[in-house]
């Protein structure tokens, strides 16, 4: 049995920020299901929203966030996170993140700020159009110099371990079972504190901008351990992902629309002005639904995003990643429109936490997309996600440090993983078929537009799949694919249950059976 002061499950911006900020006298395990930089952070393009322009204000950022959240944002959380934005940007600069700058009219160097959907000002700090990669690469390079951090790549967490404290009679988290994917060995890891920084749930849908590791592991583990989850119905679909038969779903940054890109039908007609006065700069839920509406109305496979009014030199300077990616598929964005479709992108719900990342299970924290702090409400405003990761990571570190200073140093004895009743799996086709069916059912029935009948059909199918998967899990030796499949079917179930409870349309949850917003009955979080 391995023992640590803090075990961090997840190696994106949230997990790395916690690891880097914790005092170096703590012994830390950093668990990464794949390679350390393979997570949603690395693929984030747009940037980090923060009030850096003298013409901008925290009040304006707060108002924009509250408006995007459709009445469900927790105002105290919004105020704290927004007001901490500049401090976190300065911390990233200290770490070495190379944000894009420009020369002002007075000759001084300043941040180049972009504007994205829902924002009333230019306030998105970025590193060209690969901000996530710049942040991830910088933080990874820093963490490798920390002798107190044990990096465990290709290790998949299976379940949290809990015990009842003899003194308080209260259940608490004391570690996790973790699969070493290379050896097949399951480790029982004891930790005084566990931090879930496992990211989102995008792979529960057929089309997603998320990397393959986004299977909702932290949320599923927390739910099985007795944590509350909230607002799982609010899944954000990014409006503009590259549509190409040879490409995986590749996100095209919202900053393109911030710089004037227009959404067009195949005949070249612009359509967003008919749906919202903010047109292409409307919040993502409105833009995604508008695209979905036009595609279904006209029987289209995609619509088009046109940035060709900008010069090639401008595009190469500000969007080199998008330019190069599209060029690889034969698309010159300087002269022709880009075929795009919506794809599952971000979960606004998750494990219920406070602003310190604390869950209702003592000694368990959650940070980043796996957590639901109340910042996003019913819809996340663009580039607020990395901001939340950084701010909550900072407050979590303060809370964890205080907790470990006051708590006993004794590690609880935990039982080793018991694999005596299982055999080697010989029907992996069951895993692949179940995975495919979950994603297709969720895309068809629990996607951008929902109905009662679609949700009932999805629930019936998930009930059957969950039974089959749990039977398979209890009979065969655990594998990374089986761990993810078990988590995915639970995540699908939580999304469906939450969507059935919310009998209104609000933010990212839109249902044809209840097309209006109902503030009388549903102006609150959906807590399971």
What are the distances in angstroms from CA 132 to CA 12, 129, 346, 438?
Answer: 9, 9, 15, 29
Complete DSSP assignment for 114-125:
E--TT-SS--EE
250 located within any domain: yes
Domain boundary residue, one of 327, 343, 359: 343
- 194 assigned to some structural domain: no
DSSP state letters, 90-159: HHHHHHT----EEE-TTS-EEE-EE--TT-SS--EE-STT-HHHHHHHHHHHHHTT-TTEEEEETEEEEE
**Cα separation of 442 and 232, whole Å?**
13
Can you give the residue range of the structural domain that contains 298? 241-343
Query: Does 378 reside within a domain?
Result: no
Residues contacting residue 257 through CB under 8 Å, at least 6 positions apart: 116, 117, 240, 263, 280, 281, 305
Q: Could you say which of 282, 308, 343 is where a domain stops?
A: 343
From residue 54, give the alpha-carbon distance in Å to each of 86, 111, 276, 387: 12, 12, 29, 19
Scanning 331-451, the segments in alpha helix (DSSP H) are: 384-406, 428-445
Could you read off the pLDDT of 27-65 as tens digits, one per residue?
Answer: 999 999 999 988 888 888 779 999 999 999 999 999 999
392 is a domain residue: no
Q: To which residue do tokens 């606004």 refer? A: 348
Q: Is 376 helix (H, G, I), strand (E, B) or coil?
A: coil
Tell me what pLDDT residue 411 has.
65
306 inside domain = yes
CA pair distance 5, 224, nearest whole angstrom: 23
Which of 345, 254, 243 is CA-nearest to residue 304? Answer: 243
Q: What is the rounded CA–CA span in Å between residue 143 and residue 358?
A: 24
Which residue positions in the chain have pLDDT lower than 70? 408-411, 426-427
For residue 79, tell me if it sits in a domain.
no
Of the candidates 16, 59, 413, the residue with the CA atom closest to the CA atom of residue 199:
16
**pLDDT, position 409:** 64
- Establish if 477 belongs to a structural domain: yes
Residue 439 maps to which CATH number?
1.20.58.100
Looking at the annotation, which residues are catalytic? 284
Please say whether the beta carbons of 374 and 395 come within 8 A.
no
**How many Cβ atoms sit within 10 Å of the Cβ of residue 77?**
21
User: Does residue 438 form part of some domain?
Assistant: yes
Q: Which CATH number goes with the domain that contains 249?
A: 3.90.700.10
Q: Give the end of a domain, one of 319, 343, 367.
A: 343
Cβ(337)–Cβ(264) under 8 Å?
Answer: yes
Task: Please tell me the total number of residues recorded for the chain in this structure.
Answer: 528
The count of structural domains within the chain is 2
């Amino acid at each position: 049995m391995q023992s640590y002061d803090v075990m961090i499950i997840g190696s994106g911006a949230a997990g790395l920020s916690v690891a880097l900020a914790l005092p170096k006298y703590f012994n830390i395990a950093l668990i990464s299901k794949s390679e350390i930089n393979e997570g949603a952070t690395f693929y984030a393009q747009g940037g980090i929203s923060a009030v850096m322009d003298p013409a901008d204000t925290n009040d304006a950022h707060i108002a924009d966030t509250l408006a995007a959240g459709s009445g469900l944002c927790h105002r105290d959380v919004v105020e704290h996170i927004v007001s901490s934005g500049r401090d976190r940007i300065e911390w990233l600069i200290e770490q070495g993140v190379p944000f894009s700058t420009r020369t002002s009219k007075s000759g001084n160097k300043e941040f180049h700020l972009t504007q994205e959907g829902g924002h009333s000002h230019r306030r998105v700090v970025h590193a060209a159009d690969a901000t996530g990669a710049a942040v991830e690469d910088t933080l990874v390079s820093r963490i490798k110099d920390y002798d107190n951090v044990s990096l465990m790549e290709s290790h998949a967490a299976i379940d949290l371990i809990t015990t009842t404290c003899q003194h308080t009679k209260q259940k608490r988290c004391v570690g996790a079972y973790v699969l070493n994917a290379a050896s097949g060995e399951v480790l029982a890891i004891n930790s005084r504190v566990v931090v879930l920084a496992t990211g989102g749930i995008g792979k529960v849908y057929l089309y997603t901008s998320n990397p393959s590791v986004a299977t909702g592991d932290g949320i599923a583990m927390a739910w099985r351990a007795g944590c509350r989850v909230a607002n799982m119905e609010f899944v954000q679909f990014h409006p503009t992902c590259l549509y190409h038969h040879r490409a995986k779903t590749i996100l095209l940054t919202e900053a393109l629309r911030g710089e004037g890109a227009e959404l067009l039908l195949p005949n070249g007609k612009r359509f967003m002005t008919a749906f919202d006065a903010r047109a292409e700069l409307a919040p993502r839920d409105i833009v995604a639904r508008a695209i979905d509406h036009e595609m279904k109305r006209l029987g289209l496979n995609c619509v088009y995003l046109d940035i060709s009014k900008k010069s090639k030199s401008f595009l190469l300077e500000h969007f080199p990643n998008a330019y190069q990616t599209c060029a690889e598929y034969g698309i010159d964005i300087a002269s022709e429109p880009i075929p795009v479709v919506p794809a599952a992108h971000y979960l606004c719900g998750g494990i219920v936490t406070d602003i310190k990342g604390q869950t209702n299970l003592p000694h368990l924290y959650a940070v980043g997309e796996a957590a639901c702090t109340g910042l996003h409400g019913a819809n996340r405003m663009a580039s607020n996600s990395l901001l939340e990761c950084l701010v909550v990571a900072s407050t979590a570190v303060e809370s964890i440090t205080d907790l470990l200073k006051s708590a006993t140093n004794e590690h609880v004895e935990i039982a080793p993983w018991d694999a005596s009743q299982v055999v080697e799996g010989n029907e992996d086709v069951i895993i692949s078929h179940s995975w495919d069916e979950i994603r297709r059912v969720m895309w068809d029935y629990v996607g951008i537009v929902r109905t009662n009948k679609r949700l009932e059909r999805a629930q019936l199918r998930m009930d059957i799949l969950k039974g089959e998967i749990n039977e398979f899990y209890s009979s065969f030796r655990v594998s990374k694919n089986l761990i993810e499949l078990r988590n995915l079917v639970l995540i699908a179930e939580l999304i469906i249950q939450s969507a059935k409870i919310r009998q209104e349309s609000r933010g990212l949850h839109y249902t044809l059976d209840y097309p209006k917003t109902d503030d009388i009955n549903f102006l609150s979080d959906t807590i399971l």
